[in-house]
Amino acid sequence: MLKAVTFDLWQTLIIDTPEGLGQARAERVRGMAAVLAREGHAVNDAAVDRAYDAVGERLGHLWADQRDLGSRGQVRMLLEALGVADRVPAEGPIMDALDEAYRLPILAALPVANAGAREVLEAFSRRGLGLALICNTGRTPGSMLRLVLDRLGLKGYLRVLTFSDEVGLRKPHPEIFRRTLASLGVSSSDAAHVGDDVTTDVAGARAVGMRAIHLCHPTGASQHSNGAPSISRLTDLPAALFGIAS
């Protein structure tokens, strides 16, 4: 019996845009460069921009090992890439200002809710299903993504919000799924997970005994569903889910 549904975030419940990603990056770079310059560190926007890319490479290796860290850890990486980490205290007002400059830009470049996301969440909520989010965060931490979900009118439907930067592990690591299910109070056999990535979402959910639905975007890079039921629109989810739940 289906008792709970968990959702991926990016490209499932919400959609980012190249314009939004570019704006958020530019604001992070400008904001952090301004804080460092104000504190007497000889760095400019171009140097911070290069360090931003260097951090991206390090994060890629970390994420490939299914590990994660929060925004302050990413800021420390950036300071190391700039060669000023030893001159910026790990705690205190300077670090707080840098962390804020790193976290806040998404609020000025909000992603959009995927078509049908609110309607599907509302319909499932009316059915009494426990709903949760399991999100691999990127540059934006869970603390900010909670605000994004609230502003998009989606947060209230989700009983549990699990973010990789807060858990320290990323999908498809089984522990991030298990913790979410434990918080919902359901077994894996009574839950389904929905997401757009066949490795992190489909394979990750199946590995812990959950059902999986692949949201296969027509223009997305991941088209092969690895044998999982697939949908091309979130609005097709109710029919697909209750088909496999019967």
Pair 42, 123 in one domain: no
Pair 205, 123 in one domain: yes
Pair 64, 142 in one domain: no
Whether the predicted pLDDT of 131 surpasses 80: yes
Chosen domain end from 88, 108, 128: 108
Whether the predicted pLDDT of 244 surpasses 60: no
Pair 96, 163 in one domain: no
**pTM for this model (two decimals):** 0.93
Q: Ramachandran region of residue 106, left (φ > 0), alpha (ψ -120 to 50) or beta?
A: alpha
Q: Of 246 and 243, which is predicted with more confidence?
A: 243
The CA-CA-CA angle for residues 109, 231, 195, to 5°, reads 50
Pair 123, 41 in one domain: no
Domain count, the chain: 2
Pair 54, 66 in one domain: yes
Give pLDDT tens digits for 74-90.
999 999 999 999 999 99
User: HSE on the CB side for 35, CA within 13 Å?
Assistant: 20
Pair 174, 59 in one domain: no
Pair 11, 25 in one domain: no
Pair 39, 69 in one domain: yes
The CA-CA-CA angle for residues 207, 209, 214, to 5°, reads 70
Chosen domain end from 54, 78, 108: 108
Chosen domain end from 60, 85, 108: 108
Give pLDDT tens digits for 148-169.
999 999 999 999 999 999 999 9
Taking a C-beta distance cutoff of 8 angstroms, is the pair 37, 46 a contact? no
The pLDDT value given to residue 181: 98
Whether the predicted pLDDT of 146 surpasses 80: yes
Pair 131, 233 in one domain: yes
Which CATH number covers residue 234?
Answer: 3.40.50.1000
Pair 142, 193 in one domain: yes
Mean pLDDT of the chain: 94
Q: What distance in Å separates the CA atoms of residue 199 and residue 83, rounded to the nearest whole number? A: 36
Give pLDDT tens digits for 47-82.
999 999 999 999 999 999 999 999 999 999 999 999
Q: How confident is the model at residue 42 (pLDDT cuts 50, 70, 90)?
A: confident
Q: How confident is the model at residue 225 (pLDDT cuts 50, 70, 90)?
A: low
Pair 66, 157 in one domain: no
CB atoms within 10 A of CB 115: 12
For residue 112, give the H/E element and its range: strand 112-113
Whether the predicted pLDDT of 228 surpasses 90: no
Q: Residues with Cβ < 8 Å from 138, sequence gap 6 or more?
A: 10, 59
Domain of 64 in residue numbering reads as 18-108
The pLDDT value given to residue 221: 46
